Amino acid sequence: MNSIYRKSFFDMPENIIYLDGNSLGPLLKGITEESERVINKEWGEKLIKGWNESHWMDQPVRVGNKLARILKAEEGSIILGETLSLKLYQALGSALDLNNERKVILTDSGNFPSDLYIAKGLIDTLNRNLELRIVKPEEVESSINEDVAVVMLTQVDYRTGRIHDLELITKKSHASGAVMLWDLAHSAGALPVNLEKSNCDFAVGCTYKYLNGGPGAPGFIYVRPDLIKKCSPAIKGWLGHKAPFAFEREFRKAETIDVMRVGTPSVIQMSILEKALDIWNNIEMSDLREKTIELSEIFICEMEKKCPQIKLASPRNSELRGSQVSFFFDDGYAVIQALIDEGVIGDFRAPNIMRFGITPLYINEDDILNAVTCLERILRQDLWKKDKFIKKKAVT
């Protein structure tokens, strides 16, 4: 295996062990210059001509094709824009439309709240007796039946890191006539994904987590190529129109992945992402995965040895675990704050989960060992029992 450790590609503070790339990836070198170039040379100098001369209008598809290489998707099947929540709405709306005789959206209780709210909101809007059926993650497969219109799942559980089998569940869904929609928020850039091979219908995700696109980076949507012409977006924006600059009165949908566009793309943020994706050019996702598992195993073993009072919340079997390792601890919030104070950055997810992202592009064995040593000391000396650590901040 080639080394995939690329800390020197990042512009990160010294003396920080960053175990939160699952929530916000760090700044890559070259991004500052690229955003300056886009602002000064494209926006500043070209003004509105930038849409044509700097190819801003095609950028969401161009970046989509770049991402397609990472997710092994077909050319022209992914487009960037807006946020993951919005792209999920677009995908779910189309998925329901493709299977409009059936009434059930099947999902699991580990799904991210936004995904559940979005589904519930769309059900209310459509007002045609649709049902959001929420089952336990381990009951998903046995709950797929002929009532189900859409199976909507997040592949990697945001809290525990538990993985659903993308190909197997897609196959089961199709066998019972359901449309398959995956949320890849904690998969894209974290583990090998082969969208083409999975044969799933729709997928969505975000680019500020493992793909290091920065805060506010656009969401993405994948539509299997044979469905692009058949599907109808729930939100019909002018850029999803076949000829946006004809400014027609009626919506005529684009026959390409552009159909999933809504409005004006965030060019500066998209340019940052376009540049940030370069780091994946020479990375084999299987190598990344191998290293993630190796580091996660070290982390779990060290935690079991040195901090036995903290219990593993993630699956113990590495094959069933994504790129984060989580632990239960009732005072986890304060412990995480104390860790951050010492330069070890993880995060907390209510009610009692301490979560650590293991991202081998910039985390190595020493970081893992040092993080556990730090945590052991915080617990042994009760350093977390300070008011400043116990009081909750707005963003956890």
> CB-wise, 25 or 219, nearer to ligand PLP?
219
Cα distance between residue 80 and residue 71, in whole Å: 14
- Minimum Å gap between C-beta 84 and ligand PLP is 4
Q: How far is the CB of 156 from ligand PLP (least distance, A)?
A: 8
Question: Is 208 among the residues known to form the active site?
Answer: yes
Is residue 115 a contact point for ligand PLP (CB under 6 A)? yes
- Stretch near ligand PLP under the rule CB under 6 A, chosen from 5-13, 38-46, 53-61, 178-186: 178-186
DSSP 371: H
Nearest to 188 by CA among 3, 377, 41, 359: 359
Q: Which two tokens stand for residue 396?
A: 């956890």
User: What number of chain residues touch ligand PLP (CB under 6 A)?
Assistant: 13
What does each C-alpha distance from 183 to 84, 86, 369 come to in angstroms?
Answer: 9, 12, 32
Secondary structure letter of residue 381 according to DSSP? T
Query: Nearest approach, Cβ of 17 to ligand PLP (angstroms)?
Result: 22
Q: Which stretch binds ligand PLP (CB under 6 A): 52-60, 77-85, 279-287, 305-313?
A: 77-85
Which of 258, 333, 355, 389 is flagged as catalytic? 355
Q: Give the whole-angstrom CA distance, residue 347 versus residue 21.
A: 10
Q: Which is nearer to ligand PLP, 38 or 206 (CB)?
A: 206
From the list 10, 89, 158, 208, the catalytic residue is 208
Helix-then-strand count for the chain, H and E: 15, 13
The reply on whether position 327 binds ligand PLP by CB under 6 A is no
Are 36 and 57 in contact, with CB atoms under 8 Å apart? no
355 labelled catalytic: yes
- 328 an active-site residue? no
- Collapsing DSSP to helix, strand or coil, 383 comes out as coil
Q: Which residues in 197-236 contact ligand PLP (CB under 6 A)? A: 206, 219
20 in contact with ligand PLP (CB under 6 A) = no
Who contacts 218 (Cβ-Cβ below 8 Å, separation ≥6)?
60, 80, 81, 82, 83, 207, 265, 266, 269, 270, 273
Nearer to ligand PLP, 10 or 112 (CB): 112
Beta carbon nearer to ligand PLP, 115 or 201: 115
Buried b (16+ CB within 10 A) or exposed e, 24-48: bbbbbeebeebbeebeeebbeeeee
Residue 172 among the catalytic residues:
no
Q: In angstroms, rounded to a whole number, what is the distance separating the alpha carbons of residues 153 and 54?
A: 37
Part of the chain binding ligand PLP (CB under 6 A), chosen from 80-88, 165-173, 188-196, 341-349: 80-88
Residue 81 within binding range of ligand PLP, rule CB under 6 A: no
Bridge-based pairing state of the strands 179-183 and 202-205? parallel
Tell me how far, at minimum, the Cβ of 180 lies from ligand PLP, in Å: 16
**Catalytic: 158?**
no
* CA dist 217 → 15, 116, 118, 213, 276 (Å): 26, 22, 19, 5, 11
Indicate whether 183 belongs to the interface with ligand PLP (CB under 6 A).
yes
Catalytic, out of 209, 261, 289, 321: 209
Residue numbers annotated as active site: 112, 183, 208-209, 355
**Site residues (vs ligand PLP, CB under 6 A):** 83-85, 112, 114-115, 154, 158, 183, 185-186, 206, 219
